Structures are given as C-alpha cells and as structure tokens.
Amino acid sequence: MWKGWLGLMIGYCCCSNVLAVQHATLALGMIDGKAWQAEGVSLQLQLTEPLAMKLEIASLHLPSLPQALHKVEITCPHIEYRADLIACAKAQLSLPALSKTVADLSFQYHPATQKIQLKLQSWAVAGGTLAGEVESAGEQIQVDLQASQLNLASLLKNLEIPPETAMNLAGIAQFKVKATMGGQHSQVQVDGQTTRLYFSSADASHAGEQLNLAFNIKAKQNQDAWQINSDLKLLAGEILSQPLYIKLEKNKPIEASLAANYQDNALHLQNFQYHHADILNLGAQGKFKFSTPFTVENLRVMLPKTLLQPVYKAYLQEGAEKESALSSLQLRGDIALQLDWDQEQGTFRSQLHDIHVEDTNKRFAFHGLDGELIWGSEKADAPSYLNWQAGFIAKHIPLGASGLKAVLQGHSIRLLGALNQPVLDGAFQIDKLHLHDVGLETMHGDFSANLQPISLPALCTALDFPKLNGQLSGSIPSVRYHQDGIDLGGALTVQAFDGEMIIRTLHIDKLSSRSPILSADIAVKQFDLATLTQVTEFGEIQGRLSGKIQGLKMVNWQPIAFNALLITPKDDDSTHLISQKAVNNLTSLGGNGAINALSRGVLSFFENFSYERLGWGCRLENGVCEMRGVEDAPNGYYIVKGGGLPRIDVIGYNKRVNWDVLLNRLKAVTKLQKPIIK
C-alpha cells in the first residue's frame, strides 16, 4: 500500500516541474491487500515547496478487529524529496478509535531499493503508550512494537467493540512484538504481561479477577508450516469456569507451555504441559482440523497419579453450590486420568487408589475405594469396576465392603450383575440399574432392588430413633430418576413386625442437596404389637395395628407434615392386652392424658389390662401435632378404649402438642426402666 502511494507521489512531483501543478487530490476509492481493506481513500498533495501530503481513509478493515477503524488520517507538512530518498521527519497520525491525541511519525522511502522505514514515537493510547518501528524491503516486513500500561477497558471502549463479540475486559497490559514477515521464513515473537486483569463472559459462566500473568509466544514459518511455542505463567488472581473455581495461593503459580505445528489448516499439538505448583501436572497431545465443521482428529490428555484433596480444594470446592454435597468433602488417596479421543471413538480412564471420601456434614462416606472407571463413546464398551472397604450413610448407618461392575458408555450407565451392599446386619441389593442421558436435563433411568432383612433395633439406634423390635425387609419394583429427583413406580413393600408397610407415590426432590425433600403416602397393615413392643422399654402391648400416614413430607429427612392414624383393625380377633407400663407411657405421651376413675382404682392391682381398641392420630402442620385417638371421648379422645376385665380407658385431653416436644417424650418413654408395682 505504502509503495503504491509513494510511487504516485514521485510521479506527481516529477510532473509538477513540467506542468506547474501546485495541488493535486487523488480519489483512490477502495484499496485492499491480503489482510486489509481501506475504503474512501483520498490523497492530497502540495507540489510546491515545501512538499506536503495528507492521506485520508474513511474506514480501515483489519482481520484482527471486529469493527472498522474510521477517520484515519496521516499528514506530513514537509516532505523531503530527492532522487534517492523521500522522507518525512514530522508526520502525524490521527486515529480517533485508539486515541484522542495524534501520533508523531517519521518515515523514509528509498526508491532504488523500495525500502520503507516507519517510526512511531511514544503515543498516548488508552492510558498507556504505543511506540514502534516498521521496515519494509522487497517482500519482507520487520515490525518492532512496544505497548506500555495499556488500560484494556479504555482500549475496548475506544474501539467500540460490541459486547456480544467480546468478553468484558479490564486491567493493565504491556507487551513487545518483534516480527519478520514475508516469503516462507517469517517469524513472530510476543512477550507481555498483565496486572489486575479482569474478564467475564456475557453469561458470567467464565470470569477472572485480579489476574497477574506473563506470557511469551514464538511462531516461526518454514515453507507452508508454522512452528508455534508459547509459555504462560499465572501468578495471582481468581478464575471461574463453571464448575471449576481457582484462587491462586502465594508461591503456587500456574504455568502452561505449548509446542505445536500449524499447516494446511490443521494444528498438530506436539506437547502441552499444565503445571500447578504442589497440586497437579497435566499433559496433552493432539491434532485439530480448522475446517467446517471443526474436528478433533485425535487427542490424548494425561494426568499422572495425583493426590485428590489438593485438586478438590483448589478447583472444585469453592465453585460448588453451597447446598450440594460437592461443597463439603474430605478426601484422601490419589487418582490418575487419561483421555484418548479420535474421530472413531473416545475413552476416558480414571484409576482410583485407596481413596477415602467423607461428607463433612456426615451424610455419607466411602473408605478404601479402588478401581478403574472407563467411560467410552457409543462404540466403546469396556467394563469399569469399583470396590470399597467400608462407609456410612445418614451419619450412623454403616456400610460393609462391596463393589460393582458396570459399563459407562456414551450418556448411559449399565450395571453388570447385582450389587450387594451390606448395611448394618442386612444388605441392600441392586438387581438392575440402567441410566440414560446421563449429564443431560433429560436424564432418566430404570432401577430395581431388594432389602435383605435388617435388624430394626440396630437401625433405630443408628438413626437415633425410638427403639423398635423386629426386622426390616422389602422390595423396590422400579424407580425412575429425573432431574435430581426420584419417583417410585408402583408400590414399595416392606415386611416388618409380622405385617407389612406399603409406600406409594414416593418422590424425592433435590436428592443431591443438603436438604432433600421427600413426599409419600404410607399404609400399615397388621403390624404385630407384641413384636413391635417386645424389646422396647415402652411396655408390652398385644394385638394388631393398621393405619395410614398420608401426605408425608420430610425435609433433610425430618418430618414437617403428615396426617397419620394408626388404630386396631376392626377385624382383629387376636388377644388385646396392654401392660401397666404401656398404659403409663401412653398417658405420659399424651401430655395431659388421663385414666378414668374406675380404671385408676384398679391400675395398681393388675399388670395387664384388656382393651377393645387403641389408636393414635396426628396431623402435623407448622410444627404442631393435632392429636386424636380411636374415637371421641367426653372432652377428649380415646387413646385406649377398654373392653373385658380387667379393663382400662386412657383418654387424651391435649389435642395440640409441639412436635419436637412430642418427639422428645417418645424418646424418653422408650428409655424408662421397668416400673415397681405396689
């Protein structure tokens, strides 16, 4: 471009002596090159002494900028003209998009060699300065550019780059560029650093603050290929790229290096290294095709054996949602990762060695995890295995040693064979598990399992519940998982206390959060009260019990609402006896419960009493239990309605009781010692 304009100047200067032309204006319209385009170009020449020129460009398009540069002007008030030299020692550049001030330039043109030299003096731009030199000789151009203390936010504002085409950017940058371009042996070197760098994507899923980094880029051309080497060192700051969050600690920088070859629109990544001091080292190689569409021809990423806790703390913990389990883990052990990907298939391998993971809120833990997890694309189906030595759930329910074998393929997980997990003195066995669309909003799956008998006393002790007798067992016909929630298909049947419990409409929402929400309807059929009360300290009761718990809602496994009624079935023809201790405890449980006068008179003479029916109901809402019994009584309700001899009636008068108070009473009466009968 420069050579064309200067040639025109020479021609006009020569003709001016003959034609006595003093001024000339050339409307050049549009001029373009391989990597630029100028529109509205005009050149004004003063051809009398002193020679002068003014070049105006309405808009200049450069491939590195999304917006054109407007109103570009270069003026020279005094052109030195000789046969062997055209020069301007005091030219000025006006570029409003970069700076409100004009830049001082000098240039020289040697007609014999067509050599051009352009020098930019220190130019105030975006709170900093730009300076540099450009030299062109033949097909070769040399560039030496320095930028100091550039305010990136001001620079973007001046360039009027639309927000949708770039990240929000702020901070201070300085860099040096040395380049030799032209022919088949070009080379470029960029050295720079930033301080207090800030960036943010439009959706805020990627952001960085207070970043101090230094970088170096070298690119060297050999024929049609470019060899690229780059180094970056991040010294301070914070980065969020969901779900990862990194806050650099003092003296623990992140360093990255790259060696690659670019040829024929393809990038061959020869070596990439990522090093975070005292935390991890990661390496990669691959080949990428920059065509339409962009393709990954092959890629290998490797993380050698690495301690898990430092990686979790540095990259995952702070970025996790506060209510999620991922935000509060204690980890030990190490992990190794390898990703292999090509156009045919991909495989991701994770080797776990002696890993211990425990939720600090005591929701779960697994100890001694060992195995190899292999995720494959749709064409890969290598099996994964995982074994563990122990663990717990819900604070105090212990898990024994177990393991699984599965296929992780595409967006699906399929269990190979049953998983038998010892729980307390029983086991939970998963017979079928097949999840689809894993990681997608449409994630769903099929699940069936059975619970092998677990001792209720052990389970109640683990859950800090009132002690119950018997065993717990049952089957889960099918379960559907969708969007962090579980829905029960059909009915869950649990055998306990010589009867059964049937759970319907079971739904668990926000399963992975700190406060899961459970809702269900429960039916109790023919529980044997003798079995239920035999080993508790509540007192023995003989007979059967049935009823319903409707609208059960639990948050973080604690009930907040339900409507329950548990009573003697009308068709129960078994023996109905209740011990003196059970009578006393039922009376205490009711708060202001009372025994009628006739019953009170015989209470101390008998250890067991006959009853017709017993029952207890509670509608829990807003922390208050509205209580009722088997039927209404004068000014109250029957908890126990006597029948036969010796008979006894227990009547409750307090219909509204604080739920926490009631629960504490229930825990207390189950721990009472055997009373002394006088």
What are the φ/ψ torsions at residue 312 (nearest 5 degrees)? Answer: -60, -45
- Structural tokens at position 115: 């050599």
User: Around 86, how many Cα atoms within 13 Å sit in the side-chain half-sphere?
Assistant: 23
Q: Which has more confidence, 575 or 159?
A: 575
pLDDT at 529 over 80: yes
* Range of lowest pLDDT (133-142, 499-508, 547-556, 596-605): 596-605
Instruction: Report how far apart the first and last C-alpha atoms of the chain are (Å, whole number).
Output: 118
Contact (Cβ atoms closer than 8 angstroms) between residue 513 and residue 324: yes
The residue count for the chain? 678
Task: Write out the H or E segment, with its range, that includes residue 352.
Answer: strand 346-359
Q: What average pLDDT does this structure show over 528-535?
A: 78
pLDDT band of residue 589 (cuts 50, 70, 90) is low
Q: Which has more confidence, 159 or 237?
A: 237
* Range of lowest pLDDT (11-20, 138-147, 211-220, 244-253): 11-20
Question: Which pLDDT value is given to residue 174?
Answer: 95
Selection from 479, 421, 481, 480 nearest residue 451 by Cα:
421
Contact (Cβ atoms closer than 8 angstroms) between residue 55 and residue 43: yes
What are the φ/ψ torsions at residue 166 (nearest 5 degrees)? Answer: -155, 160
Using alpha carbons, list the distances in angstroms from residue 411 to 15, 307, 376, 438: 77, 28, 9, 5
* Range of lowest pLDDT (162-171, 178-187, 568-577): 162-171
Q: What is the pLDDT of residues 376-425, one digit of tens each?
A: 887 767 899 999 999 999 888 999 999 999 999 888 999 999 999 999 99
Beta 364-376 vs 402-409: how paired, if at all?
A: parallel
What are the φ/ψ torsions at residue 138 (nearest 5 degrees)? Answer: 65, -130
The Cα–Cα gap between 463 and 285 comes to 51
CA angle 480, 398, 516 (to 5 degrees): 40
pLDDT at 244 over 80: yes
DSSP reduced 3-state for 531: helix
pLDDT at 34 over 80: no
The Cα–Cα gap between 221 and 180 comes to 10
Q: What percent of the chain has pLDDT over 90?
A: 41
pLDDT at 1 over 70: no
Question: Which pLDDT value is given to residue 33?
Answer: 65
Q: What is the pLDDT of residues 484-499, one digit of tens each?
A: 788 887 777 777 788 8
The Cα–Cα gap between 598 and 606 comes to 13
Question: Which pLDDT value is given to residue 194?
Answer: 94
The Cα–Cα gap between 135 and 478 comes to 76
Contact (Cβ atoms closer than 8 angstroms) between residue 24 and residue 47: yes
pLDDT at 186 over 70: yes
Average pLDDT, the chain: 85
Q: What is the pLDDT of residues 418-448, one digit of tens each?
A: 999 999 999 999 999 998 888 777 777 888 8
Contact (Cβ atoms closer than 8 angstroms) between residue 107 and residue 91: yes
- Structural tokens at position 390: 């122990």
The Cα–Cα gap between 335 and 353 comes to 6
What are the φ/ψ torsions at residue 530 (nearest 5 degrees)? Answer: -65, -45
DSSP reduced 3-state for 649: coil
Which residues have a Cβ under 8 Å from the Cβ of 550 and sit 6 or more positions away? Answer: 521, 522, 562, 563, 564
- Structural tokens at position 74: 């270069």
Selection from 14, 12, 38, 7 nearest residue 25 by Cα:
12
Question: Which pLDDT value is given to residue 678?
Answer: 23
The Cα–Cα gap between 45 and 336 comes to 70
Q: Which residues of 304-318 are buried (b: 16+ CB within 10 A; e: fewer)?
A: eeeebbebbebbbbe
Q: What average pLDDT does this structure show over 216-230?
A: 93
The Cα–Cα gap between 170 and 562 comes to 55
Instruction: List beta partners, residue 24.
Output: 45
Question: Which pLDDT value is given to residue 226?
Answer: 92
pLDDT band of residue 246 (cuts 50, 70, 90) is very high
The Cα–Cα gap between 398 and 3 comes to 83
Q: What is the pLDDT of residues 61-97, one digit of tens each?
A: 876 666 788 898 989 998 888 888 888 999 998 988 8
Question: Which pLDDT value is given to residue 535?
Answer: 57
Q: What average pLDDT does this structure show over 136-146?
A: 84
Question: In which region does residue 82 sit, left (phi positive, over 0), alpha (psi from -120 to 50) or beta (all else)?
Answer: beta
The Cα–Cα gap between 496 and 426 comes to 14
The 3-state secondary structure of 70-108 reads: EEEEEEEEEEEEECCEEEEEEEEEECCCCCCCCEEEEEE
pLDDT band of residue 569 (cuts 50, 70, 90) is very high
Q: What is the DSSP letter of 659?
A: H
Question: Which pLDDT value is given to residue 673?
Answer: 37
Output helix, strand, coil percentages for the chain, rounded to the nearest 5: 10, 60, 25
Which residues have a Cβ under 8 Å from the Cβ of 666 and sit 6 or more positions away? Answer: 466, 589
